[in-house]
Structure 1
Amino acid sequence: MDLKPLPRPEHPDPYTVLERRFVYDSPWIRIREDRFRHRKGAEGRYAVCGFRRTACGVLALDEADRVVLVGQWRYPLEAYSWEIPEGGGDTTESPFEAIRRELAEEAGLAAQVWEPLCFFHTSNSSTEEEAFLFLATGLTPTAGHHAEDDEELMLHREPFADCVRRVLSGEITDSLTVLALLALQAKRSGLGADLDAALAERFFQRPQDHPSAGRARWDQLGAP
């Protein structure tokens, strides 16, 4: 069943930007502070975090319907986390190219069948970061498995249904993993919908060829 677009105001953007100030820049993230005026009269400041790399993840399922999970310590959380293979792609590679590489590097696996699963914004109150999630099947071992100098990874395969239960119990909390598992569960329950065709193409295109409005803003502003 085709879904009609949700309603939106005729003039959706209520902000007038008065000033922009770069605060921090690195190979991974950049931060700026914007001073704005809202059309209702309020003035304030908005801190925006931009991610230079594209968030990608893959829900890799083996022939026994088990999910390939990667365990690692997450520094900001001060906690151990079990997640699907994921990583960041730069502007020279598509989300598909990036996550195919990550699956090989983190899990030592290749997949025969790939399909887009879900697209979302990770935290739209503070960043323009986008996430592209894939479903991969037909897994085979491949060369190239290695961890970075600052990574200690564990590998584990867990039945899909148990992974969903661990999401609902709060044991699995990584956002890419949660969305991937629940998206596939929705599809298996008959609630799935096809991705918009233009959006589905972006899974296989390089970000520099289709910059989002939020990411394009940084290029328009120039370097700090």
Structure 2
Amino acid sequence: MFKVINSKEIYKNKWMRLREDIIERANGVKGIYTVVEKNDFAVIIAIENGMLQLVTQYRHPIQERSLELPMGAWPEKPNANPLDLALGELQEETGYKANHIEKLGFQYVDNGASTVGAHIFYATDLEFVGKNLDEEEADLESCELSVKDFESKIVSGEVTDATTIAAFALAKLKGFV
């Protein structure tokens, strides 16, 4: 375990906080550790009639569109119940209400640099009720693919979002997909 000698906030906005820790390792070696603090989010594997609900959106850090599972957080409600968050994000991004949803697990996204984690849900018995996109998601488009086609896109490198791949793998390994 590291001993924190000093910690200071470097930057903060509604989505994240960046802090810099001066640490001392167990062997006495001192160093610096930069940590990105973000609220946990929900990611949803939603399947109806063998079709997986997905979204594509422009991701500024990589400057390209990304094919992903529906996911998100509510910065204005950092302590939102993960189930409510999952149901809300699914409807917001795809227009579907899940009449059956269950939590599959939790995964840290980048535990070497960030506190953010993903609550992973599996949703079925979907009913289209209409999208409710945030202003910031104006370019988000929803689509659906068969599980087989989606897996092919992972293998070919067309799907590059690690959270999407890890959540899908968890669902598959647990026998949901």
| Same fold, TM-score > 0.5, yes or no | yes
Matches within 5 A, 1:65-144: 65-89=50-74, 90-143=77-130
**Who is 1:203 aligned against?**
none
Which runs of 5 or more residues in structure 1 are unaligned?
Answer: 1-12, 190-224
Contact 2:4–2:24 (Cα < 8 Å) also in 1: yes
Aligned length: 174
Instruction: Tell me whether 1:59 sits opposite 2:45 in the alignment.
Output: yes
Q: Which has the higher contact order (CA 8 A, sep 6+)?
A: 2
Contact 1:164–1:182 (Cα < 8 Å) also in 2: no
| TM-score, normalisation: structure 1 | 0.73
Q: Find the residue that maps to 2:135 and give its secondary structure.
A: coil
Q: Which has the larger radius of gyration?
A: 1
Q: Find the residue that maps to 1:184 and give its secondary structure.
A: helix
Q: Find the residue that maps to 1:150 and give its secondary structure.
A: helix
| TM-score, normalisation: structure 2 | 0.91
Aligned AA (2:63): E
CA distance in 2, matches of 1:131, 1:118: 8
Contact 1:59–1:68 (Cα < 8 Å) also in 2: yes
Give 1:168 shift. Answer: 2.2
Q: Find the residue that maps to 1:178 and give its secondary structure.
A: helix
Which runs of 5 or more residues in structure 2 are unaligned?
Answer: none
4+ runs deviating over 3 angstroms = none
CA distance in 2, matches of 1:36, 1:129: 21
